[in-house]
Amino acid sequence: MQKQETAVINQAVATLKYARISSRKVKIVADLIRGKDVDEALAIVKFTPKASSEIIEKLLKSAIANAENNHQMKRENLYVAEIYANQGPTLKRIRPAAKGSAVRIRKRTSHITIVLKEKED
C-alpha cells in the first residue's frame, strides 16, 4: 500500500451568522475584495460607501486576528481566498395597507464567511 500525502493548507475562517442585511447587498462589497491582500482589502472596505462595508470590515479584522493568534500565520502573507454571503432566515413582518388589508415586509438576514490563506512564496 502506498502512503497518500495530503497537503495541509493553513487557513483562517471567520463567520458572521444572522447579519441583519440582505445577502444581495453584501455580495456587492464581497466581490470587490475577493483575492486581494488583507491590507488592500481593509482599505477598499473602509472607503466603500455601502451598508455592508462596516460589517465586512469588522469580520475581516476578526479573520485576521484568528489567523495570527490561532494559526500562527504572518499578516504580510495573508489574502482573502474566499468570501461569500448566503441567505439566512427571513423575518416576516406585517404592515397595514389600504382597505383593511395587510402587506408583508420581509426583513432578510445573511450568513457571511471569510476564508484567509497564506501566499506561497
Q: Is residue 7 over pLDDT 60?
A: no
What is the 3-state secondary structure of 59-96?
A: HHHHHHHHHHHHCCCCHHHEEEEEEEEEECCCEEEEEE
Domains of the chain: residue spans and CATH: 11-118 (3.90.470.10)
Question: pLDDT tens across 78-110, in order?
Answer: 999 999 999 999 999 999 999 999 999 999 999
Helix %, strand %, coil % of the chain (to 5): 35, 35, 30
Are 67 and 15 contacting, i.e. CB atoms less than 8 angstroms apart?
A: no
Residue found under cell 487557513: 11
Mean pLDDT throughout 20-43?
93
Contacts of 4 (CB under 8 A, 6+ apart): none
Given this model, what pLDDT does residue 8 score?
58
Mean pLDDT throughout 4-25?
84
Question: pLDDT category, 120, cuts 50, 70, 90?
Answer: confident
Mean pLDDT throughout 102-119?
94
